Amino acid sequence: MIDTSKVAELSKVAKQMVAPGKGILAADESMKTVGKRFASIELENTEDNRRAFREMLLTVPGESDYISGVILHDETIRQTTKSGKTFVEILQTAGILPGIKVDLGLIDAGSEKLTSGLEGLGARLQEYVEFGAKFCKWRSVITIGESMPSEENIRQNAKDLAAYAFVCQEHGLVPMVEPEILLDGTHTIEQAEAASTQILTALFEELRAAGVALEGMILKTSMVLPGKDFGVKASPEQVAETTLRVFKKCLPSELAGEAFLSGGQGDVEATQNLNAINQDKNLPWPLTFSYARALQDAATKTWKGMPENLQAAQKVFLHRAKMNSLASLGTYSSDMEQPVAYDQDVTVSQD
């Protein structure tokens, strides 16, 4: 079990991460995924361009009004801005919590996937603590398909997530625990509900068995959605009803909070669904956002890697962050949206 005094500090940080009206920016994409995003704006995938991209996202004036924390990539936590300050210093000055992705990516497990990175995790975490990180993220990936997800895959991913979370808490870092159900596929929302229930039930069994303090961790999971190739999108009301039914069945009341991933949803779609979920005001946990593409995409396409577009791109980012902030409070309306000059049809999923 984690020391009581340490749990109190973890709980304090976790509450900051899901503070009312605030969410978490996922800026931890791998170099491969950033390359896909850059290809959509015809920008070369170099270290300097990646640094400029992260600087565009992390130096937005007023960002801390809506963003409580940022998940960084290993490359980014070591980089400095043009002014010579580290990205961690930039976030700390703004009152934003620095976080770090600590898994080492996906590995094949038959036709399914597991996540690597438990070996040597403690030493890596100690280094990230010295850099100033306050929380971590580990992502597992579940696919719905023929004979999937298997019970074996669900259970092993749950065990790995629990082992990661415990080591994080031992090092004084709040774990974000991310069992992502991929949007890829033709599955129905009912199939997604069944898989989500099975996954979250197994996850919390393993977290408890590992001695993880649930009040000092954040869940980052998918909304319950039909597959993108199913042919019919669920309404925000249906997404909310189904997602909350799973959560009320599976999530323990002591959990510090949930920060949804966008998982390939469109920018506005992710906001609308989050807003519908937060119409229920009698929940034991805050439900907010931890989006990557759904926060970044419009700003990236406005920026295009050009310094002269920086201010306009940051305004676009701030608007998207504000819309999701309102949605996390259940006070968003589509009337608040503003037109932006970019192609919303280009979608790049995070790997």
Q: pLDDT tens digit string along 250-270?
A: 999 999 999 999 999 999 999
Angle between helices 47-58 and 87-94 (to 10 degrees): 0
**Structure confidence at residue 341 (pLDDT):** 45
**Structure confidence at residue 2 (pLDDT):** 87
Mean pLDDT of the residues in the chain: 95
For range 46-56, the mean pLDDT: 96
**Structure confidence at residue 99 (pLDDT):** 98
In this model, does residue 105 exceed pLDDT 80?
yes
Q: Residue 7: CA atoms inside 13 Å, Cβ hemisphere, count?
A: 13
Least trusted range by pLDDT, from 71-75, 230-234, 320-324 = 230-234
**Close Cβ partners of 108 (under 8 Å, ≥ 6 residues apart):** none
Confidence at 207, pLDDT banded by 50, 70, 90: very high
So where are the chain's domains? 4-336
**Structure confidence at residue 340 (pLDDT):** 54
Per-residue pLDDT tens digits for 115-129: 999 999 999 999 999
Confidence at 349, pLDDT banded by 50, 70, 90: very low
Q: How far apart are the first and last CA of the chain?
A: 33
Per-residue pLDDT tens digits for 163-200: 999 999 999 999 999 999 999 999 999 999 999 999 99
CATH superfamily for 4-336 is Aldolase class I (3.20.20.70)
In this model, does residue 45 exceed pLDDT 60?
yes
Long-range contacts of 127-133 (CB under 8 A, 24+ apart): 128/77, 128/100, 128/102, 128/173, 129/171, 129/172, 129/173, 131/77, 131/78, 131/86, 131/88, 131/98, 131/100, 132/88, 132/89, 132/92, 132/98, 133/72, 133/77, 133/88, 133/98, 133/99, 133/100, 133/173
Residues serving a catalytic function are 178, 220
**Structure confidence at residue 123 (pLDDT):** 97
